[in-house]
Structure 1
Protein backbone atom coordinates (compact mmCIF):
# COMPACT_ATOMS: atom_id res chain seq x y z
CA UNK A 1 0.00 0.00 0.00
CA UNK A 2 1.21 3.50 -0.75
CA UNK A 3 -0.07 6.42 1.30
CA UNK A 4 0.41 10.02 0.23
CA UNK A 5 0.16 12.61 3.01
CA UNK A 6 -0.66 16.23 2.19
CA UNK A 7 -0.29 18.75 5.02
CA UNK A 8 -1.60 22.30 5.05
CA UNK A 9 -0.55 25.26 7.16
CA UNK A 10 -0.58 29.04 7.21
CA UNK A 11 2.09 31.27 5.72
CA UNK A 12 3.40 34.42 7.42
CA UNK A 13 0.39 36.36 6.09
CA UNK A 14 -2.08 33.81 7.43
CA UNK A 15 -2.96 32.33 4.03
CA UNK A 16 -3.56 28.62 3.69
CA UNK A 17 -0.79 26.71 1.94
CA UNK A 18 0.23 23.11 1.23
CA UNK A 19 3.43 22.77 3.25
CA UNK A 20 4.22 19.08 2.78
CA UNK A 21 3.28 16.49 0.16
CA UNK A 22 4.89 13.07 0.16
CA UNK A 23 4.74 9.34 0.74
CA UNK A 24 4.56 7.85 4.22
CA UNK A 25 6.71 4.77 4.67
CA UNK A 26 5.21 1.78 6.51
CA UNK A 27 6.60 0.44 9.75
CA UNK A 28 6.93 -3.33 9.56
CA UNK A 29 8.42 -5.95 11.86
CA UNK A 30 9.24 -9.63 11.59
CA UNK A 31 7.42 -9.94 14.93
CA UNK A 32 4.19 -9.31 12.99
CA UNK A 33 4.71 -10.68 9.46
CA UNK A 34 2.42 -9.16 6.84
CA UNK A 35 1.34 -6.28 9.08
CA UNK A 36 2.17 -2.61 8.55
CA UNK A 37 1.62 0.61 10.48
CA UNK A 38 1.62 4.03 8.89
CA UNK A 39 2.03 6.92 11.28
CA UNK A 40 0.44 9.78 9.39
CA UNK A 41 0.50 12.60 11.92
CA UNK A 42 0.61 13.32 15.61
CA UNK A 43 1.18 15.94 18.22
CA UNK A 44 1.48 15.97 22.00
CA UNK A 45 -0.54 19.13 22.64
CA UNK A 46 -3.80 20.76 21.55
CA UNK A 47 -3.44 22.66 18.26
CA UNK A 48 -3.47 26.46 18.18
CA UNK A 49 -4.07 28.23 14.87
CA UNK A 50 -2.73 29.80 12.78
CA UNK A 51 -0.06 27.11 12.49
CA UNK A 52 2.71 26.79 9.92
CA UNK A 53 1.79 23.11 9.41
CA UNK A 54 5.17 21.82 10.53
CA UNK A 55 5.43 18.65 12.58
CA UNK A 56 5.11 18.97 16.35
CA UNK A 57 6.63 16.75 19.05
CA UNK A 58 4.96 13.34 19.09
CA UNK A 59 7.59 10.85 20.20
CA UNK A 60 5.55 8.06 21.79
CA UNK A 61 3.42 5.84 19.58
CA UNK A 62 0.30 6.55 21.66
CA UNK A 63 -0.68 10.12 22.57
CA UNK A 64 -0.53 11.76 25.99
CA UNK A 65 -3.55 13.64 27.35
CA UNK A 66 -4.32 16.50 24.91
CA UNK A 67 -2.26 14.77 22.20
CA UNK A 68 -3.43 12.91 19.12
CA UNK A 69 -2.23 10.37 16.57
CA UNK A 70 -3.48 9.59 13.05
CA UNK A 71 -2.54 6.18 11.65
CA UNK A 72 -3.37 3.42 9.21
CA UNK A 73 -2.79 -0.20 10.19
CA UNK A 74 -2.77 -3.24 7.94
CA UNK A 75 -3.56 -6.44 9.84
CA UNK A 76 -2.44 -9.66 8.17
CA UNK A 77 -4.78 -12.66 8.12
CA UNK A 78 -4.17 -15.71 10.30
CA UNK A 79 -1.78 -16.29 13.16
CA UNK A 80 1.21 -13.95 13.16
CA UNK A 81 4.13 -16.36 13.30
CA UNK A 82 7.59 -14.78 13.29
CA UNK A 83 10.34 -16.52 11.30
CA UNK A 84 12.04 -19.35 13.21
CA UNK A 85 15.47 -17.68 12.94
CA UNK A 86 14.28 -14.32 14.30
CA UNK A 87 16.26 -12.75 17.14
CA UNK A 88 13.29 -11.67 19.32
CA UNK A 89 15.28 -9.25 21.49
CA UNK A 90 16.72 -7.45 18.46
CA UNK A 91 13.30 -7.34 16.76
CA UNK A 92 11.67 -5.89 19.90
CA UNK A 93 14.43 -3.28 20.20
CA UNK A 94 13.95 -2.26 16.55
CA UNK A 95 10.17 -2.07 17.01
CA UNK A 96 10.63 0.05 20.15
CA UNK A 97 12.88 2.41 18.18
CA UNK A 98 10.30 2.79 15.40
CA UNK A 99 7.14 2.72 17.58
CA UNK A 100 8.23 4.07 20.99
CA UNK A 101 6.06 2.81 23.83
CA UNK A 102 3.90 0.48 21.73
CA UNK A 103 5.38 -2.67 23.25
CA UNK A 104 4.93 -1.30 26.79
CA UNK A 105 1.16 -1.04 26.16
CA UNK A 106 1.01 -4.75 25.28
CA UNK A 107 0.01 -7.46 27.74
CA UNK A 108 3.00 -9.86 27.74
CA UNK A 109 0.77 -12.79 28.77
CA UNK A 110 -1.87 -12.30 26.06
CA UNK A 111 -0.45 -11.64 22.56
CA UNK A 112 -1.91 -8.55 20.88
CA UNK A 113 -3.94 -7.47 23.90
CA UNK A 114 -3.20 -3.87 24.87
CA UNK A 115 -4.61 -0.87 26.69
CA UNK A 116 -4.01 2.80 25.93
CA UNK A 117 -5.09 5.99 27.63
CA UNK A 118 -6.92 7.26 24.58
CA UNK A 119 -10.24 7.36 22.82
CA UNK A 120 -9.75 5.82 19.40
CA UNK A 121 -11.93 6.48 16.38
CA UNK A 122 -11.41 3.56 13.99
CA UNK A 123 -12.87 2.75 10.55
CA UNK A 124 -12.39 -0.47 8.63
CA UNK A 125 -11.62 0.55 5.04
CA UNK A 126 -11.02 -2.95 3.64
CA UNK A 127 -11.38 -6.52 4.81
CA UNK A 128 -12.64 -7.60 8.19
CA UNK A 129 -11.16 -7.86 11.63
CA UNK A 130 -12.28 -9.21 14.99
CA UNK A 131 -12.11 -6.86 17.95
CA UNK A 132 -11.41 -8.95 21.03
CA UNK A 133 -12.19 -7.53 24.44
CA UNK A 134 -11.66 -9.38 27.71
CA UNK A 135 -14.65 -11.72 27.31
CA UNK A 136 -16.33 -10.57 24.11
CA UNK A 137 -15.59 -10.54 20.37
CA UNK A 138 -17.09 -8.39 17.62
CA UNK A 139 -16.44 -8.70 13.89
CA UNK A 140 -15.96 -5.39 12.06
CA UNK A 141 -16.21 -5.23 8.26
CA UNK A 142 -15.52 -2.66 5.55
CA UNK A 143 -17.37 0.54 6.42
CA UNK A 144 -17.84 -0.29 10.11
CA UNK A 145 -16.59 2.18 12.70
CA UNK A 146 -15.52 1.71 16.29
CA UNK A 147 -15.27 4.17 19.15
CA UNK A 148 -12.77 2.51 21.48
CA UNK A 149 -12.92 4.11 24.94
CA UNK A 150 -9.61 3.16 26.56
CA UNK A 151 -10.57 -0.50 26.91
CA UNK A 152 -8.25 -3.50 26.91
CA UNK A 153 -8.45 -4.99 23.41
CA UNK A 154 -6.75 -6.88 20.59
CA UNK A 155 -7.20 -7.16 16.84
CA UNK A 156 -7.35 -10.52 15.03
CA UNK A 157 -7.86 -11.10 11.33
CA UNK A 158 -9.55 -14.50 10.92
CA UNK A 159 -10.20 -13.89 7.22
CA UNK A 160 -8.07 -14.66 4.18
CA UNK A 161 -7.23 -11.10 3.09
CA UNK A 162 -5.38 -8.28 4.88
CA UNK A 163 -7.59 -5.81 6.76
CA UNK A 164 -6.89 -2.08 6.67
CA UNK A 165 -8.09 0.19 9.46
CA UNK A 166 -7.75 3.95 9.81
CA UNK A 167 -7.54 5.31 13.34
CA UNK A 168 -7.36 8.57 15.20
CA UNK A 169 -6.26 8.31 18.83
CA UNK A 170 -6.97 11.25 21.14
CA UNK A 171 -5.12 11.21 24.44
CA UNK A 172 -7.16 10.86 27.61
CA UNK A 173 -6.58 10.56 31.34
CA UNK A 174 -7.36 7.42 33.30
CA UNK A 175 -9.03 8.13 36.62
Structure 2
Protein backbone atom coordinates (compact mmCIF):
# COMPACT_ATOMS: atom_id res chain seq x y z
CA UNK A 1 0.00 0.00 0.00
CA UNK A 2 1.23 3.50 -0.81
CA UNK A 3 2.39 5.72 2.04
CA UNK A 4 0.98 8.86 0.43
CA UNK A 5 -2.29 8.39 -1.47
CA UNK A 6 -3.32 9.54 -4.91
CA UNK A 7 -6.41 11.76 -4.91
CA UNK A 8 -8.86 12.13 -7.79
CA UNK A 9 -11.34 15.03 -7.56
CA UNK A 10 -14.28 15.20 -9.94
CA UNK A 11 -16.00 18.33 -11.19
CA UNK A 12 -18.21 19.74 -13.94
CA UNK A 13 -17.33 21.51 -17.18
CA UNK A 14 -20.07 22.58 -19.58
CA UNK A 15 -22.55 20.42 -17.66
CA UNK A 16 -20.44 17.26 -18.05
CA UNK A 17 -18.53 15.40 -15.34
CA UNK A 18 -14.74 15.58 -15.57
CA UNK A 19 -11.63 14.76 -13.57
CA UNK A 20 -10.61 18.11 -12.15
CA UNK A 21 -7.53 16.90 -10.24
CA UNK A 22 -5.50 13.71 -10.32
CA UNK A 23 -2.52 14.06 -8.02
CA UNK A 24 -0.53 12.68 -5.15
CA UNK A 25 -1.78 14.29 -1.93
CA UNK A 26 0.39 17.24 -0.90
CA UNK A 27 -1.13 17.91 2.54
CA UNK A 28 1.02 15.29 4.29
CA UNK A 29 2.87 15.36 7.60
CA UNK A 30 4.97 13.09 9.75
CA UNK A 31 4.48 14.26 13.35
CA UNK A 32 6.27 11.18 14.73
CA UNK A 33 8.66 8.96 12.72
CA UNK A 34 6.54 6.75 10.46
CA UNK A 35 3.21 8.29 11.55
CA UNK A 36 2.03 9.60 8.18
CA UNK A 37 -1.12 11.73 8.13
CA UNK A 38 -2.69 12.96 4.90
CA UNK A 39 -5.72 15.18 5.23
CA UNK A 40 -7.47 14.45 1.95
CA UNK A 41 -10.43 16.85 2.15
CA UNK A 42 -12.19 19.09 4.64
CA UNK A 43 -15.48 20.91 4.86
CA UNK A 44 -16.58 23.73 7.15
CA UNK A 45 -20.36 23.74 6.68
CA UNK A 46 -23.28 21.33 6.55
CA UNK A 47 -24.71 21.07 4.02
CA UNK A 48 -21.42 21.64 2.30
CA UNK A 49 -20.35 23.10 -0.99
CA UNK A 50 -17.94 21.36 -3.33
CA UNK A 51 -14.95 23.67 -2.97
CA UNK A 52 -11.72 22.39 -1.45
CA UNK A 53 -10.75 23.59 2.01
CA UNK A 54 -7.07 23.56 2.89
CA UNK A 55 -6.55 22.70 6.54
CA UNK A 56 -3.57 22.52 8.86
CA UNK A 57 -2.38 18.94 9.03
CA UNK A 58 -2.16 18.11 12.76
CA UNK A 59 -1.38 14.89 14.65
CA UNK A 60 -4.60 15.23 16.64
CA UNK A 61 -7.47 16.47 14.45
CA UNK A 62 -8.99 19.91 14.79
CA UNK A 63 -12.21 19.42 12.86
CA UNK A 64 -13.80 22.67 11.63
CA UNK A 65 -17.00 23.74 13.41
CA UNK A 66 -19.94 22.20 11.51
CA UNK A 67 -17.42 20.53 9.22
CA UNK A 68 -15.58 17.31 8.51
CA UNK A 69 -12.16 15.82 7.77
CA UNK A 70 -11.28 12.99 5.44
CA UNK A 71 -7.98 11.60 6.72
CA UNK A 72 -5.56 8.86 5.63
CA UNK A 73 -3.30 7.63 8.44
CA UNK A 74 -0.34 5.26 8.50
CA UNK A 75 0.48 4.22 12.07
CA UNK A 76 3.86 2.56 12.62
CA UNK A 77 4.49 -0.05 15.31
CA UNK A 78 4.63 1.42 18.85
CA UNK A 79 8.21 0.18 19.20
CA UNK A 80 9.25 2.30 16.18
CA UNK A 81 7.74 5.36 17.88
CA UNK A 82 9.42 4.52 21.17
CA UNK A 83 6.04 4.22 22.86
CA UNK A 84 5.76 2.13 25.99
CA UNK A 85 2.75 2.04 28.26
CA UNK A 86 3.61 1.20 31.88
CA UNK A 87 1.18 -1.30 33.42
CA UNK A 88 -1.80 0.48 34.94
CA UNK A 89 -1.08 3.75 33.08
CA UNK A 90 -3.07 5.22 30.17
CA UNK A 91 -1.59 4.99 26.69
CA UNK A 92 0.58 8.11 26.14
CA UNK A 93 -1.33 9.06 22.95
CA UNK A 94 -4.78 8.87 24.60
CA UNK A 95 -6.98 11.72 23.35
CA UNK A 96 -10.59 12.76 22.85
CA UNK A 97 -12.19 14.76 20.06
CA UNK A 98 -15.66 16.27 19.67
CA UNK A 99 -16.27 14.29 16.50
CA UNK A 100 -18.20 11.32 15.18
CA UNK A 101 -15.56 9.24 13.37
CA UNK A 102 -16.01 6.54 10.73
CA UNK A 103 -12.75 4.59 10.58
CA UNK A 104 -11.87 1.75 8.21
CA UNK A 105 -8.76 -0.37 8.72
CA UNK A 106 -7.26 -0.86 5.24
CA UNK A 107 -4.18 -2.90 6.09
CA UNK A 108 -2.26 -4.23 9.06
CA UNK A 109 -3.67 -4.42 12.55
CA UNK A 110 -4.03 -2.07 15.48
CA UNK A 111 -5.53 -2.00 18.95
CA UNK A 112 -8.26 0.50 19.74
CA UNK A 113 -7.52 1.46 23.37
CA UNK A 114 -10.36 2.89 25.48
CA UNK A 115 -10.50 3.84 29.16
CA UNK A 116 -11.63 0.42 30.35
CA UNK A 117 -10.97 -1.99 27.49
CA UNK A 118 -9.26 -2.55 24.16
CA UNK A 119 -9.88 -4.57 21.01
CA UNK A 120 -7.70 -5.75 18.13
CA UNK A 121 -8.72 -4.40 14.72
CA UNK A 122 -7.65 -5.92 11.41
CA UNK A 123 -8.00 -5.03 7.73
CA UNK A 124 -11.65 -4.62 6.83
CA UNK A 125 -12.80 -3.77 10.37
CA UNK A 126 -14.80 -0.57 10.85
CA UNK A 127 -14.99 1.61 13.97
CA UNK A 128 -17.70 4.15 14.76
CA UNK A 129 -15.88 6.32 17.32
CA UNK A 130 -18.33 8.61 19.13
CA UNK A 131 -16.29 11.27 20.93
CA UNK A 132 -14.72 8.86 23.40
CA UNK A 133 -11.28 8.99 25.00
CA UNK A 134 -9.13 6.66 22.88
CA UNK A 135 -5.70 5.80 21.51
CA UNK A 136 -4.31 3.64 18.72
CA UNK A 137 -1.65 1.09 19.65
CA UNK A 138 0.19 -0.85 16.97
CA UNK A 139 1.75 -3.83 18.75
CA UNK A 140 2.68 -5.57 15.48
CA UNK A 141 5.84 -5.32 13.39
CA UNK A 142 4.15 -3.62 10.40
CA UNK A 143 2.40 -0.29 9.82
CA UNK A 144 -1.38 -0.06 9.98
CA UNK A 145 -3.21 2.05 7.42
CA UNK A 146 -6.63 3.48 8.15
CA UNK A 147 -9.07 5.88 6.51
CA UNK A 148 -11.09 8.13 8.78
CA UNK A 149 -13.95 10.55 8.24
CA UNK A 150 -14.33 12.86 11.23
CA UNK A 151 -17.53 14.90 11.56
CA UNK A 152 -17.99 17.79 14.01
CA UNK A 153 -20.36 16.71 16.78
CA UNK A 154 -21.95 18.08 19.94
CA UNK A 155 -20.25 16.80 23.08
CA UNK A 156 -22.58 14.76 25.28
CA UNK A 157 -23.04 16.05 28.82
Q: Report the more deviating stretch, 36-45 or 13-22.
A: 13-22
- Distance (Å, rounded) in 2 between the aligned partners of 1:133 and 1:10: 44
Is 1:72 aligned to residue 56 of structure 2? no
Report SS of the residue matched to 2:33. Answer: coil
Q: Report the more deviating stretch, 158-167 or 65-74.
A: 65-74
- Counterpart residue number, 1:91: none
Cα distance, 1:173–1:160 mapped onto 2, change above 3 Å: same
Q: Deviations over 1:35-67 (max 9, x none)?
A: 111111111112446x4xx41364574323420
User: What runs of 5+ residues in structure 1 fail to find an aligned partner?
Assistant: 83-108
Taking structure 2 as the reference length, what is the TM-score of the superposition?
0.80
State the shift of 1:8 in Å: 1.2
Aligned length: 143
- Distance (Å, rounded) in 2 between the aligned partners of 1:46 and 1:59: 20
Cα distance, 1:36–1:17 mapped onto 2, change above 3 Å: same
Q: Which has the higher strand share?
A: 2
Report SS of the residue matched to 1:27. Answer: strand
State the shift of 1:76 in Å: 0.6
- Distance (Å, rounded) in 1 between the aligned partners of 2:141 and 2:100: 29
State the shift of 1:111 in Å: 1.7
Cα distance, 1:57–1:14 mapped onto 2, change above 3 Å: farther
- Counterpart residue number, 2:124: 143
- Counterpart residue number, 2:53: 56
Q: Which has the higher helix share?
A: 1
- Counterpart residue number, 2:87: none
